[in-house]
Structures are given as C-alpha cells and as structure tokens.
C-alpha cells in the first residue's frame, strides 16, 4: 500500500542534548565511589526502567527479607483483581507461628486482617505475617504461594531468581540478584497502595488487646527526603540488604544494595546512589500533537471510507542527563488507502518519536470500525450504477 508523509518531519528541534537509551546500556558502573561496600548494587529509574548504575548486578545472592517485596506485590495483585480484601481476616497456622526470626509473635489460630499483616510485613519485616498471608491466598499452602512467587518472577523477567519461601529465611537455592530485586520493586510499586505500607514509619497492631507499636526497619523513611520505602533484609549469610525508593521532582529512583557489611553502610550507600541519580538525571516528557484525520478510503469494501482513531496513549517519558534538552523529531505516516476486509482496531498509520536520532516511541492510528469486503454481486451493482450515471 502507498503511504504518505503527513508531517514530513514535524521537528520539535530543541537545541542540543543527549537522551539516555531506555536500557542498561546507559548504566554508569565506572564510579567506584558508589556502593563500594556492597557485593552487588543497582540504581534504576522506576517509570522507564533505565539503569543508571550497576555493580555485579547479575550476581546471584541471598536477599534475606528483601524477598518480602514479592510477597507484598502478590498480595496487592490479588486485591487489585478483586480476589482479596484488606479487611479479610487471616487465621494464623502452626506453620506461620513457628517461623521465628523477626516476627509479630502470631499465635496459632490468631486472626488478623490482611491490612494489619501487610503493615507487619512492610514495617516490622515479620516472617510469620508473610507466611500467614501466603497461606491465606492459596488456601493453606505456603509452597503453593512460593510457586506463585516463582511464576511471577519469570513473568517479570527476573531470570536469575528462585524463591524457596515467602520471607527470605535462609534456604538452599533461595537466590536473586540486584537487577531482579529492582524489577520486583517496580512490580510492587506499580500498585498505588504499596507506599501506604512501605513508607509508613510507625504502626500499632493488636490495639484491642496488647498493643504493640511497630517501627519501620528502613531508616530511610525517616532520614531521606522523598523516600517511599521499600524493604530491608538481613541474615548472617546474606549480609545487610536494602531495596529503597524515593521520589523527587516527578521522578522515582530505586536503589538496591546486597551483601553490605553493616546496617549503617547499607543506608548510607543507598542514600549515595539516590543522590547520584537525582543530581545527574531527570525525566523528559516530549510534547507531541497527533495528526487528526477523519477517515481514509477503503478499496473493495462495503463502504468507501473508514474513520481513523488517533493515538490516545500518553507519551512515555524519557530519561535524560539533567539540564539538557534532546532534539525531538515526530514523523507521522498514514495509509493512503486500505483494502477490505479491514479489522476494527487494525493499524492504519503510525507516529514515530525520535530523540537525538534514536526511536523512543511508536504510536498507532487505528480503524474505528471493521469494513467487510464487497461480494462479487455488490461490486457489479456499483459498476452498473456508475455506468448508468455517466
């Protein structure tokens, strides 16, 4: 099919600049001052997934309680799907009660709401609460919930992760990487309610009996401006771990450090990573106006034209070096005509967004309705009508 260029180059040329590619290729792993004490680390921008810094980011390590990020994400996914309510009451099993380590001391048979258990996981890093939530979702089987965790990890592209439990207690084969932790942190933060739990500093449980005030194990929620959580972790073999996130000027960064020697260092090096990202990068949102076209011709169709739906998708932001502006080009092409049959929603044109010579977005124009192909008899009727009106 022939095509025409509606906007030859609708060039929004905005001086000189350099847009970062939305991939790990933009990572700066040469700054030896960052995360020097961590075995593995990564800094990622939330919305685009751009990696700004990495150090041994694909080395498989124990995550300790950072594991609970996936547990919380799956709970919120169940809530979003309408399969679970924050007001649902969960009954603790003997298995949950027996977890040990950091816990809220659930008794067998004790009932607590999903909401309070989520707070217990996010704020107090409670192992027993994580197990209770997993068992509740799967009808009593922690193993079944762990299977859900591993399936979700595969779905998210966490290619170097395998979970053995819901909470990160030491177990053979329970491993992940800094990159994969960043990916599951993005998954958790994709739910708007996530920060209601992860950014909470203090929260009381058992207010009707023996009230206990939990305090967030992540010091950054108190010490770092814009921090929205996310999760600490520690075991003797894993070392001190942390996945943290903060938002400033409309941009959210995720910093992951694994295998730090002490808690103070993990918090300081996470701050340093976040400071580095906010100082050097920012999100750029190109302003693009899509061409408006009412319809295009249809060949061999039961109707002669089909209406065109312009792209309605919000233009995705691009991460750029702070203080620069990229050169933006917008190319729009629409089909000169289409041939029936035409499916509703089928592409009839595109707008391509190019920053500094690199394609960063493609948006489709689509057919508003389906158009069936004319039959032979219908075609003959049209020919006959044209002959009679000549």
Q: pLDDT band for position 18 (50/70/90)?
A: very low
Q: How many CA atoms lie within 13 A of 14 on its CB side?
A: 18
What is the per-residue pLDDT for 5?
Answer: 30
Distance between CA atoms of residues 320 and 317, nearest Å: 9
Q: pLDDT band for position 378 (50/70/90)?
A: low
What value does the mean pLDDT take over residues 18-41? 64
Judge whether residue 1 has pLDDT over 60: no
Judge whether residue 201 has pLDDT over 90: yes
pTM: 0.83
Distance of CA 130 to the CA centre of its chain: 22
Known catalytic residues are 65, 68, 125
Distance of CA 63 to the CA centre of its chain: 20
What is the per-residue pLDDT for 290?
Answer: 84
For the chain, counts of helices (H) and of strands (E): 10, 18
Q: What is the pLDDT of residues 112-159, one digit of tens each?
A: 999 999 999 999 999 999 999 999 999 999 999 999 999 999 999 999
Token match 């730090």: residue? Answer: 260
Q: pLDDT band for position 384 (50/70/90)?
A: low
Q: What is the pLDDT of residues 306-332, one digit of tens each?
A: 999 988 777 888 999 998 988 889 999
Using alpha carbons, select from 152, 146, 113, 149 the residue that is nearest to residue 129.
113
What is the per-residue pLDDT for 386?
Answer: 57
Report the chain's mean pLDDT, rounded to a whole number: 88
Q: pLDDT band for position 28 (50/70/90)?
A: very low
Q: pLDDT band for position 360 (50/70/90)?
A: confident
What is the per-residue pLDDT for 208?
Answer: 75
- Give me Rg for the CA atoms of the chain: 27
What is the per-residue pLDDT for 8?
Answer: 28
């Amino acid at each position: 099919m022939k095509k025409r260029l509606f906007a030859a180059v609708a060039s929004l040329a905005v001086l000189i600049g350099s847009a970062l590619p939305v991939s790990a290729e933009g990572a700066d792993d040469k700054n030896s001052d960052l995360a020097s004490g961590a075995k593995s680390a990564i800094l990622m921008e939330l919305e685009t997934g751009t990696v700004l810094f990495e150090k041994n980011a694909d080395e498989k390590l124990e995550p300790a309680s950072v594991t609970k990020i996936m547990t919380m994400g799956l709970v919120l996914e169940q809530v979003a799907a309408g399969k679970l309510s924050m007001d649902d009451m969960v009954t603790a099993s003997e298995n949950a009660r027996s977890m040990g380590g950091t816990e809220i001391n659930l008794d067998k048979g004790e009932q607590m709401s999903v909401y309070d258990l989520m707070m217990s996981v996010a704020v107090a890093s409670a192992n027993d609460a994580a197990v209770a939530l997993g068992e509740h979702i799967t009808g009593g089987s922690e193993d079944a919930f762990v299977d859900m965790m591993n399936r979700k990890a595969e779905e998210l592209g966490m290619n170097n992760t395998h979970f053995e439990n819901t909470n990160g207690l030491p177990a053979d084969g329970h491993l992940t990487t800094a990159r994969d932790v960043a990916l599951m942190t993005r998954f958790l933060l994709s739910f708007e309610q996530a920060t209601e739990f992860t950014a909470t500093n203090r929260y009381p449980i058992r207010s009707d009996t023996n009230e206990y005030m939990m305090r967030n194990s992540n010091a950054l929620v108190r010490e770092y401006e814009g921090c929205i959580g996310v999760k600490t972790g520690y075991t003797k073999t894993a070392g001190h771990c942390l996945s943290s996130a903060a938002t400033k000027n409309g941009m959210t960064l995720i910093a992951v450090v694994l295998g730090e020697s002490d808690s103070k260092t993990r918090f300081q090096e996470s701050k340093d990573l976040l400071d580095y990202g906010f100082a050097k990068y920012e999100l750029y949102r190109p302003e693009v106006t899509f061409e408006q076209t009412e319809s295009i011709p249809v060949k061999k169709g039961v109707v002669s034209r089909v209406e065109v739906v312009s792209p309605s998708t919000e233009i995705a932001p691009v991460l750029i070096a702070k203080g620069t502006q990229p050169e933006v080009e917008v190319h729009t092409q629409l089909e000169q005509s289409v041939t029936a049959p035409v499916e509703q929603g089928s592409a009839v044109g595109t707008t391509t967004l190019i920053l500094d010579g690199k394609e960063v977005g493609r948006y489709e124009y689509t057919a508003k309705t389906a158009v069936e192909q004319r039959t032979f008899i219908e075609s003959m009727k049209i020919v006959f009508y044209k002959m009679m009106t000549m």
